[in-house]
């Protein structure tokens, strides 16, 4: 042992104080101890490892106690084996909050996720460096700047891909149908996250593309809804491709434009109960013939909306099977400003079908090839236009 007498004494006194405080708290009862260590867990192993690191690590002067603490918490969350439960330190938490408020950040412009223990692209945002480079939903990210992504957490991967505009990141990508991986060197830029847009097609078809469900989505939809009502539109194509989801409450609000008030939108299945979220609103587009576009980048709340429209109104889904992210995460702020994101429930469709790791299958499957992308063809949208023209 290389402990100095002073350190040994401090550790001994700390241990006495710790054990005494825990014992006293249990003596008073749980009502007096809202956060107590488990009685059957010996934390001395943690402190033993901590001091071994402090004493023996080659560059021990670089060791930060706060970094060790955050690393321990991250490891604890990672041990759950759930890719969507994660820990963010105060600096990371503040950055994510600012991105959500501003709707912008610096990076390559894509959402990523983990499926079957493999990091992959959920969706590239249209017009961003990732989109222009040719990345597609479903692409597997094997390495970032030469570092393998095997076992890498989402937050770690995100921090490596993001960076100041003008700098570059190298991604090693494998796509279904390729013989071997390819490297993409992408220059980062300032990314503005779109919400939604619409245009009139063929004089009577409102083509609405919702890119994500954030706190502004329904407010913006309210504005375009009246534009659509005042146009010659009589039918709707709702494009949910490459939509990674977002806020469930916004999904429910948007559903109220298309479903009957009271229709089931989603069932939230927790440990011991089920909660049903129902559509509410003005039902303005309830009687408009419509179809919905989905692909591998359609995830989370976007999958829920697509399934709710099909199971309540028999709306046809066109495209490819969606991502399959059907779990619910609750953000919990900790005392120092850090954040835990914890999976607390599962989403089920109105007919109680699980989408987690399965996705939503389209009624009409239409694939997008690399050639389609390179020649800026959209066979999925073309099929949607063909189908909806036949609807009355």
Looking up tokens 């105060």 gives 90
Report CA 64 to chain centroid distance, whole Å.
30
Q: In terms of C-beta density within 10 A (0-12 exposed, 13-18 middle, 19 or more buried), how is residue 360 classed?
A: buried
- Reference 217, options 199, 235, 243, 241; nearest CA is 243
Handedness of CA 10, 16, 20, 22 (dihedral sign): positive
> What is the secondary structure of 80-102 as a DSSP string?
T--TT-EEE-HHHHHHHHHHHHH
> With contact defined as beta carbons under 8 Å apart, do 256 and 283 qualify?
yes
Continuous H helices in the chain: 5-28, 44-56, 65-78, 90-102, 129-133, 154-161, 217-229, 248-255, 301-313, 370-374, 379-389
* Domains in the chain: ranges and CATH: 105-192 (2.30.42.10), 196-389 (3.90.226.10)
Output the pLDDT for position 33. Answer: 58
Q: pLDDT of the chain along its 392 residues, tens only?
A: 444 544 444 444 444 444 444 444 444 444 455 677 777 888 888 889 988 888 888 887 777 888 889 989 989 998 998 888 889 899 888 877 766 655 678 899 998 988 888 999 988 988 899 999 999 989 999 999 999 999 888 878 988 999 999 999 999 999 988 999 999 999 999 988 788 999 999 999 999 999 999 888 999 999 999 999 999 999 999 999 999 998 899 999 999 999 999 999 999 999 889 999 999 989 999 999 999 999 999 999 999 999 999 999 999 999 999 999 998 888 899 999 999 989 999 999 999 999 998 999 999 999 988 888 778 899 999 999 999 999 98
> With contact defined as beta carbons under 8 Å apart, do 238 and 292 qualify?
yes
Output the pLDDT for position 24. Answer: 41
- Largest Cα–Cα distance in the chain? 86
Q: Which residues are catalytic?
A: 300, 311, 325
Residue 226, Cβ neighbours under 10 Å: how many?
10
Phi, psi torsion values for 373, nearest 5 degrees: -65, -50
Query: DSSP letter at 212?
Result: -
Output the pLDDT for position 3. Answer: 45
pTM for the model stands at: 0.77
Output the pLDDT for position 100. Answer: 60
Query: DSSP letter at 60?
Result: G
Residue 248, Cβ neighbours under 10 Å: how many?
18
- Identify each DSSP E strand in 263-362 by its residue range: 264-269, 274-278, 290-294, 316-319, 327-333, 339-348
How far apart are the C-alpha atoms of 15 and 248, rounded to whole Å?
46
Helix (H, G, I), strand (E, B) or coil at 250: helix
Output the pLDDT for position 16. Answer: 44
How far apart are the C-alpha atoms of 205 and 283, rounded to whole Å?
18
């Amino acid at each position: 042992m290389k402990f100095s007498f002073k350190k040994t004494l401090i550790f001994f006194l700390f241990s006495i104080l710790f054990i005494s405080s825990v014992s006293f708290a249990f003596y008073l009862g749980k009502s007096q101890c809202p956060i107590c260590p488990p009685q059957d867990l010996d934390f001395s192993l943690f402190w033993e490892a901590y001091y071994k690191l402090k004493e023996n690590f080659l560059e021990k002067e670089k060791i930060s106690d706060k970094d060790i603490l955050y690393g321990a918490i991250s490891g604890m969350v990672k041990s759950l084996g759930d890719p969507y439960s994660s820990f963010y330190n105060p600096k990371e938490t503040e950055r994510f909050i600012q991105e959500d408020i501003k709707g912008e950040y610096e990076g390559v412009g894509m959402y990523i996720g983990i499926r079957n223990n493999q990091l992959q692209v959920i969706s590239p945002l249209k017009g961003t460096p990732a989109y222009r480079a040719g990345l597609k939903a479903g692409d597997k990210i094997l390495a970032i700047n030469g570092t393998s992504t095997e076992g890498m957490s989402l937050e770690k991967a995100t921090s490596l891909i993001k960076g100041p505009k003008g700098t570059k990141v190298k991604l090693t990508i494998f796509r279904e149908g390729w013989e071997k991986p390819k490297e993409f060197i992408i220059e980062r830029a300032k990314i503005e996250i779109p919400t939604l847009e619409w245009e009139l097609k063929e004089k009577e078809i409102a083509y609405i593309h919702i890119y994500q469900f954030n706190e502004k989505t329904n407010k913006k939809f309210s504005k375009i809804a009246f534009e659509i009502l005042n146009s010659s539109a009589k039918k709707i194509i709702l494009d949910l491709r490459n939509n990674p989801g977002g806020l469930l409450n916004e999904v429910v609000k948007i559903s109220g434009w298309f479903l009957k008030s009271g229709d089931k939108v989603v069932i939230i299945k927790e440990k011991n109960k089920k909660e049903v979220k129902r559509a509410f609103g003005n039902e303005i587009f309830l009687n408009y013939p419509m179809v919905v576009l989905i692909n591998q980048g359609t995830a989370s709340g976007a999958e829920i909306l697509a399934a709710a429209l099909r199971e309540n109104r028999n709306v046809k889904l066109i495209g490819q099977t969606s991502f399959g992210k059907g779990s619910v995460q609750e953000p919990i702020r900790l005392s120092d400003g850090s954040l835990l994101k914890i999976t607390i429930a599962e989403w089920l469709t109105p007919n109680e079908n699980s989408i987690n790791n399965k996705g939503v299958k389209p009624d009409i499957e239409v694939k997008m090839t690399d050639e389609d992308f390179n020649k800026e063809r959209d066979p999925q949208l073309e099929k949607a236009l063909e189908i909806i023209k036949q609807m009355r």
